[in-house]
Amino acid sequence: MMVTESAQTRATIDLHTHTNASDGLDAPAELVANASQRGISVLGVTDHDTMDGLDAASEAAAQAGITLVPGVELSTTVDRAEVHVLGYFVDSTESDLRARLSDLAASRVRRVERMIVRLHELGYRVDGEAILAQAEEGSIGRPHVARALMEIGAVDSVNDAFERFLKAGRPAYIPRDPFSPEDAVGLLVRYSAIPVLAHPFSTKDIEGTLARLVPAGLKGLETYYAEYSSEQHAQLHAIADGWGLVPTGGSDYHGLGFREGRELGAAPVPQDAWERLSTLYADLAGGA
């Protein structure tokens, strides 16, 4: 029946998305409009190392009748494996946290500058100024470099740019400034946000990572992720249960066509998991 179907679609919860404040394609209000169109009722906005998109997203979400979960995704590297830590319920007005994130964004700019130099040395004349201009609001990263490589016809796609130039071990790969995942979790805990390990299979060693991060204050594990198989989902749920972590998830949407399989709502989070996450925050905010 129509009513049931729309009630179900309305209930879609997506807790992992990006805007053009970092490497996504949609402006915050466009992301919210697209989410609304796809029947998303709870939307987590989790840009890389910046909260700059959150105010505009909250405003648009209030208009659209969507619950906006303010978030951030902190990027760290361990032995060349990507360890990303999501922080939910960040306070975008917290000036010390903003200052720490500005440091991370500045470190991203330095990293991208070195990538541009490297590409120029290799003979690929990407437009460095145009790339760096995008750092004026929010944060930049490898996808911005990838798009510049596409613009000069050096690669066919963003993925091609990562495979040939930008991922670890490729000629224009530049490591991040050291920032440990423990420090990322600690930063979020200090500002009363809820830290969650993003797309855990990227870390290569999930149990080892959790043994480091749970004592630091990690509270959740991103178990709902569209790229993972049902076996991997089952494995992650068992791991989350074992460590007493709240299962979360989302599409990791970066814009239409940015990456296959990452459309909004692609990895819906069940209502009860969302309630566990929001209860953690309510208890924290209530001083329980």
Residues near ligand AMP (CB under 6 A)? 23, 48, 75, 141-143, 158-159, 162, 254, 259
Q: Which helix (H) or strand (E) holds 54?
A: helix 54-64
Binding to Fe ion by residue 47, rule CB under 5 A? Answer: no
> Of 124 and 179, which CB lies nearer to ligand AMP in the complex structure?
179
Binding to Fe ion by residue 142, rule CB under 5 A? Answer: no
Residues 6+ apart with CB under 8 A from 15: 42, 43, 44, 46, 69, 71, 86, 88, 248, 249, 250, 269, 274, 277
Which of 231, 179, 236, 178 has its CA nearest to residue 202? 236
Give the distance from CA 116 to its chain's centroid.
24
Strands in the chain per DSSP E: 12-17, 40-48, 67-78, 81-88, 194-197, 220-225, 246-250
* Contact of residue 159 among Fe ion, Zn ion, ligand AMP, none (CB under 5-8 Å per partner type): ligand AMP
Least gap, CB of 22 to ligand AMP (angstroms): 8
Least gap, CB of 259 to ligand AMP (angstroms): 5
> Of 53 and 141, which CB lies nearer to ligand AMP in the complex structure?
141
> Of 12 and 17, which CB lies nearer to Fe ion in the complex structure?
17
C-alpha distance from residue 192 to each of 14, 208, 283 (Å) = 21, 25, 11
> Of 31 and 274, which CB lies nearer to ligand AMP in the complex structure?
31
Least gap, CB of 251 to Fe ion (angstroms): 12
Binding to Fe ion by residue 84, rule CB under 5 A? Answer: yes
Q: What is the dihedral of CA 121, 127, 130, 136, to 10 degrees?
A: 0
Which position among 23, 47, 52, 222 is part of the footprint of Fe ion (CB under 5 A)?
Answer: 23
Least gap, CB of 73 to Fe ion (angstroms): 5
In terms of Cβ atoms closer than 10 Å to its own Cβ (0-12, 13-18, 19+), residue 155 is buried
Least gap, CB of 199 to Fe ion (angstroms): 6
> Of 84 and 219, which CB lies nearer to Fe ion in the complex structure?
84
Q: Which residues here bind Fe ion, judged by CB under 5 A?
A: 23, 84, 198
Q: Which residues here bind Zn ion, judged by CB under 5 A?
A: 73, 252
